[in-house]
Amino acid sequence: MATTLERVAPFHNEQIRNFSDPADRASLEAALERARAALRRHYPLLIGGQRVETEEKIESRNPARPAEIVGTVASASLDQAKAAIEAAARSFESWRRVAWEERANYLFKAAELIRRRRDDFNALLVLEVGKSWVEADADTAEAIDFLEFYGREALRYASPPPLVPIAGEENRLEYVPLGVGVVIPPWNFPFAIMAGMAAAAIVSGNTVVLKPSSDSPLVAAQFVDLLHEVGLPPGVVNFVPGSGRAIGDALVANTKTRFVAFTGSKEVGLHINELAGRPQPGQIWIKRVIAEMGGKDSIVVAADADLDAAADGVAASAFGFQGQKCSACSRAIVESAVYDAFVDKLLQRVKKITLGDPLQPETYMGPVINEVALKSILAYIERGKTEGTLLAGGKRAPGEGWFVEPTVIGDVAPDAVIAQEEIFGPVLALIRAKDYDDALKIANNTEFGLTGSVYSRDDAKLERARDEFHVGNLYFNRKSTGAMVGAHPFGGFNMSGTDSKAGGYDYLALFTQAKTVSKKIGTAGGGRAGGE
């Protein structure tokens, strides 16, 4: 008889559209019109299934048009954050007993509903965080992928592999949920990462308090509404936007919080890890932290590389979504023998980048997320001008939004500030390496270890990189961005996080704990000597 997993179609990634098809283009244009007609829509808190209004509101603004308020959400107080944890704890007692198969079905239903509303979510991503049409579609497609993949993983976890048999015993390993989790997603993938972390938690039998980024709360609000539309029980996901300063620490420190899933900056991630590791009065468990904290990602261009392919890959990795990806290439490490030729090809590609309002389909690069980011990026560029040679960009671009020109700075020293610190913007440092040995050495000289790429035609060089280039996601002869669920389990080493491989086959294990149950069969009582 076929198992539940065998009856489900094999997983496949959603196709990302380029909008060359007139029907795709018309669909997103219509969705953008609907989204603009619904500007300033408000979303309350959701605690235990109850919608809660607050005096304080968070305004989500269009980074391409900062005067334009896309929508608002209620901002939770400390008391409301505590109430959300309490609601999640109450709901956990019943949700943890729901079968894996039933929990997976909620994810499958949500994925199908998102497919039907794909361009409405895309439109919100364009308006709320300034994604281009293709980047928005990729974000939505990845959210669907996470739901479909983790749903299938839940079916697999429902039937653990058999244990080594022991005569006279019936033994089983069961994966049981942890409890209440606080999910803190980033603004740069406000749909995919948010939905992925929340879905992994709930399909594993946990309940969630979701605190989205204040720069992208609307996508999370619509996703939570969609989950309840497909019938998710009240209190399984509780929606509590609010500033990290106001409620973040309280959510992490609460004695009923069992785990925290976080994606964001190194500084915040380390603070969460420290706070979670400090037992509170009455706490009876060690809190688990699942963290992805960014990177300073390098692409190595060997002397034998296809320079056209390398230039394409570096440009796409450095300037896709304005360089606001933790996997973005912020350092190109190029062997000296081909450095000048590579730079010429790269600059030709950078000149072709279209910068403007992402409402327009031809826009490749839109605005950075907010004014704070703009000022920080421009300050790094000024520092970079003293640490290397400005080859392209270097200024705030025209327009009312937070636009920064795609910027390339050449002949940067490996230990320069702009070669070491995460900028999170469209700024690329070019580093000249003496040879391939030197290039690999430079590639490992930061505190991060998230993604990296190597362009080379020499298999021996690629194999050396496989062994020596210390990152969680390493790519050969392709860009450093664009990890696909199931194909490229994603997570990094060192200060890039806990190497929790999102979209991988061991990810749900992070949201569960393994319980071994042994039953004596045959004669009653007894046991055997030895063992633990």
- Cα 338 to the center of its chain, rounded Å: 34
Rounded Cα distance between 198 and 207, Å, is: 9
Q: Any catalytic annotation for residue 532?
A: no
Determine whether 292 is an active site residue.
Answer: yes
Active site residue: 86, 135, 153, 292, which one? 292
Instruction: Name the token pair of 397.
Output: 């671009």
Single out the catalytic residue among 14, 86, 326, 405. 326
Contact status, residue 258 vs residue 180, Cβ threshold 8 Å: yes
Q: What is 164-181 written as a DSSP string? A: PP-TTEEEEEEEEE--EE
Tell me how many degrees the CA angle 81-87-90 measures, rounded to the nearest 5.
Answer: 145
Provide the token pair at 197.
Answer: 């972390």
Helix (H) / strand (E) containing 85: helix 78-95
Residue 162 neighbours by CB distance under 10 Å: 9
* Contact by Cβ (8 Å): 446, 470: no
| Long-range own/partner contacts, residues 7-16 (CB < 8 A, 24 or more apart) | 8/108, 8/151, 8/152, 8/155, 11/148, 11/149, 11/152, 11/486, 13/141, 13/145, 13/484, 13/485, 13/486, 13/487, 14/115, 14/141, 14/142, 14/144, 14/145, 15/141, 16/134, 16/137, 16/138, 16/141
What one-character-per-residue DSSP string does 195-253 give?
A: HHHHHHHHHTT-EEEE---TTSHHHHHHHHHHHHHTTPPTTSEEE----IIIIIHHHHH
Indicate the pairing of strand 493-494 with strand 448-449: antiparallel
The one-letter code for the residue type at 230 is V
Q: Which of 233, 194, 246, 238 is nearest to 216 (CA)?
A: 194
Instruction: State the Cα–Cα distance between residues 352 and 360, nearest whole angstrom.
Output: 16
CB within 8 A of 284, min separation 6: which ones? none
Active-site amino acid positions: 292, 326
